[in-house]
Amino acid sequence: MHRPESYPGIPRRIRGILEPSVSGGSTSSENGYQKLTKVLVNVTVERSLGPVHVLLSPEKTVEDLIKAALDVYLKEKRRTSLTESDPHCYELHYSQFALESLNPKEKLINLGSRNFFLCSKRTNPVNSSSSEQTKKASANK
């Protein structure tokens, strides 16, 4: 796509990378390309209809993303209401089907995705009933 000549200072995108502006505008990187300053992240909160859109620096952590997503969710007064507003009560996953949660200290730029699933932390172990049955069976032997 060719950019109009009437706007020479606007950078254009070639294969997903921003081309430096012709007018010699400020660039943050050594090779002349602009440095990424903000990332748009989609976070789907469990039992909600659609994702929350959060704009954060790529240097922020998963913990910061959880807090920001909860703030946006509460600010927009989304339905279903959250039972807790404390970010430490939630964990972030790559999808609703992922069993392993993301490390809260991990930086967003290292995650490789911009779509996540936020759910409340489980207080009870998932297989608590099966572990109790195992304990009873071993006690009867």
66-106 confidence digits (pLDDT tens): 999 999 999 999 888 888 889 999 999 999 999 999 999 99
What are the φ/ψ torsions at residue 76 (nearest 5 degrees)? -80, -5
pTM for the whole structure: 0.64
Bridging pattern class, strands 90-93 and 13-14? unpaired
Tokens of 134: 């195992």
Tokens of 37: 């300053």
What is the distance between the alpha carbons of residues 107 and 110, in angstroms, rounded to a whole number?
Answer: 6
Contact by Cβ (8 Å): 32, 20 = yes
Chain segment 9-61, per-residue pLDDT in tens: 555 555 555 555 544 444 455 566 677 789 999 999 999 989 999 999 999 99
Tokens of 10: 């606007």
What is the distance between the alpha carbons of residues 64 and 62, in angstroms, rounded to a whole number?
Answer: 5
Contact by Cβ (8 Å): 112, 38 = no
Domains of the chain listed by start with CATH number: 39-120 (3.10.20.270)
